[in-house]
Chain A
Amino acid sequence: MEILRAKGLTKKFGNLTALSNLDLEIPRGRIIGLLGPNGSGKSTFIKLATGLLVPTSGEITIAGATPGIETKAMVSYLPERTYLNDWMRAEDMIAFFGDFYEDFNRLKADNMLRDLNINPGDRLKTMSKGTKEKVQLILVMSRDAELYLLDEPIAGVDPAARDYILNTIITNYKENASVIISTHLIADIEQVLDDIIFISQGEIKLLSTVDDIREKHNKSVDGLFREVFKC
């Protein structure tokens, strides 16, 4: 069974339609790039999948269930915001994740912190914005989740850490889990993607495997994106 399914998914904010009548099925075991210009509805889609937002109409299901505590336990979400409590230390956050997520793998988190030279005893307040983002990504990727929803995961970190993070993403998920990465930094993540979804003004413009794009259009995803969304 597919990990995520959307049927007639619509979200309106007052008069503004953020997503309109979206139909989508995301299978297990894929890394999907959710690509689109700013304000295209990427974050709204991800927030609907996490249960932070409730659809105006239509439905979205994770492994057959509408978003709720059951799906929250199997979805690992990285928001575009830093949600870490300033007064906590990195190790406090690790304890917090361990307490609330049964699938949290402490060993993974400790190893990744060590690889990125982050001291677990450091207070988050003293960390730079980029370091905080790294800590947050480590927490999210240390879960053995069914579905990872990563909203702009690499926007704030330096290129060197970017490679490590992308490597972390592709090596850290289970075979039957899927990863959805929303970003506009396409060139940087292109090599890890299996599928892409182009989204614009709340509608899907293109849904394809990366291989197909290279074969049919004879272009890179980045090149095609620039063409499709040409201003």
Chain B
Amino acid sequence: MLGKLLKYEIKATGRIFLPIYLALLALTIITKVLLMIAMPDVFLDSTSGTSFDIPLGISVTLYFIIIVALSVMTLIVIVQRFYKNLLTDEGYLMFTIPVETWKLIMSKLIVGLMWTFVCVFTVALSILILALGNFSIMEMNQGISMLYAEFQNQFGMSPNILIAEFIILMIVETVASVLMIYVSIAIGQLFSQHRIMAAFGAYIVISIVLQIVMTLLIALIPAFGLEYLMNSQINQMKAVEVFINGITVFNIISAVAFYFITNYILKNRLNLE
């Protein structure tokens, strides 16, 4: 059943994203073409002042607007699919199909994360396409290997582990942020009035609680504080690693808590209008 839920979730969200991604693709191509005409070779100083400057300016502006719009839409869709599909009138259908509540939450989460990664990946790819030809790949490779060598030299370790750990932190943090939105909406629907306001309130309260817990943890267990780690005897990069992994673990714990609270509320305290 999770597969079927995912299918409908992708269908419902895809129709919103498809036009935006098509617009992004079109603008990337147009901007790229205009860039190639207006600045055929950046290495040989640009031929600025050509008649292509204005269309290029417009195209670049639109390009940035569409990227911002895409990011904002991704967030809006994550919030709206959870709220509208589960907790307004549509919830009467979703909670009476023979599917476990956790699968409903999971289907929203998985598809929400999928669009987040598609968004990040597409924007990165698009920027790369625009930049292509404006720099030499060989030079970039050389630059990167130099950085690697220097890092290895200074800290006695490859930055790969650190980068991997950082990427894991980013992923875990994205999951936790989405679940934090879900749990806030779930708490908001417990109220009979002003549910959206209550959801915002819940979000703020949870943020504050997390801040307090974080501060307490650092105060109680000095090993969590970056400052302590930096001043301690261990290698500085090891300290950064401990810090990154500490936040990762903290995020995993909060994400699990958010998930179970959301599931409990939707299962036992559902309060559809």
Contact A52-B8, Cβ < 8 Å, known A72-B97, A87-B15, A100-B1: no
Contact check: which of B7, B15, B192, B272 meets A52 at CB < 8 Å?
B272
Structural contact, B100 and A77, CB atoms closer than 8 A = no
Interface size on B, as a range, is 20 to 34
Contact call A101/B92, Cβ cutoff below 8 A: no
Interface string of B246-273 (1 = CB under 8 A from A): 0000000000000000000001111010
Contact B95 A51 (CB under 8 A): yes
Task: Report yes or no: B99 in contact with A69, Cβ–Cβ below 8 A.
Answer: yes
Q: Are B89 and A50 in contact (CB under 8 A)?
A: no
In angstroms, Cα B1 to Cα A130, docked, is 31
Alpha-carbon distance between A101 and B97 when the two chains are bound, in angstroms: 7
| Alpha-carbon distance between A132 and B216 when the two chains are bound, in angstroms | 54
Are A52 and B98 neighbours in the complex by a CB distance under 8 Å? no
A92's nearest neighbour on chain B, judged by CB, is B11
A73 contacts which of B8, B89, B98 (Cβ < 8 Å)?
A: B98
A71 nearest in chain B by CB position: B98
B91 part of interface (Cβ distance < 8 Å): yes
Chain A to chain B: the 9 pairs with minimum beta-carbon distance, closest first: A73-B98, A72-B98, A83-B93, A79-B92, A83-B92, A69-B98, A100-B97, A81-B89, A99-B4
Decide if B149 is an interface residue (CB 8 Å cutoff). no
Cross-chain contact B98 with A70 (CB below 8 angstroms)? yes
Cβ of A96 within 8 Å of any chain B Cβ, yes or no, is yes
Is the beta-carbon distance between A83 and B90 smaller than 8 angstroms?
Answer: yes
Q: Is the CB of B270 within 8 A of A52?
A: yes
Chain A: minimal CB distance from B107 (Å): 12
22 contacts between A and B (CB under 8 A): A50-B95, A50-B96, A51-B96, A52-B270, A54-B267, A54-B268, A69-B98, A70-B98, A72-B96, A73-B98, A75-B96, A77-B92, A81-B92, A83-B90, A83-B93, A85-B85, A87-B12, A96-B8, A99-B7, A100-B97, A101-B97, A101-B98
Count residues of chain A with CB under 8 A from any CB of chain B: 23
Please encode chain B, from 102 to 138, with 1 for each CB lying within 8 Å of some chain A CB and 0 for all others.
Answer: 0000000000000000000000000000000000000
Contact flag A83-B89 (CB < 8 Å), given A52-B270, A54-B268, A100-B4: yes
Q: Is A176 an interface residue (CB 8 A)?
A: no
Q: A83, B270: Cβ atoms under 8 Å?
A: no
A170 interface residue (CB < 8 Å to B) = no
Closest chain B residue, CB of each to CB of A74: B98
Within 8 A of B (CB), among A59-91: 69-70, 72-73, 75, 77, 79, 81-85, 87
CB pair B272 A100 closer than 8 Å: no
Q: Which of A50, A77, A83 is packed against the most chain B CB atoms within 10 Å?
A: A83
Q: A73-B98, A85-B12 are in contact. List 10 more A-B contacts (CB 8 A).
A: A50-B95, A51-B96, A52-B92, A52-B95, A69-B99, A79-B89, A79-B92, A81-B89, A85-B85, A100-B98
- Minimum CB distance partner of B16 in chain A: A87
C-alpha spacing A82/B91, complex, angstroms: 10
**Min CB–CB distance B9 → chain A (angstroms):** 12
Q: Is A228 an interface residue (CB 8 A)?
A: no
With a cutoff of 8 Å between Cβ atoms, the chain B residues found around residue A83 in the complex are: 89-93
What's the least CB distance linking B29 to chain A, in Å? Answer: 29
Task: State how many angstroms separate the Cβ of A88 from the closest Cβ of chain B.
Answer: 9
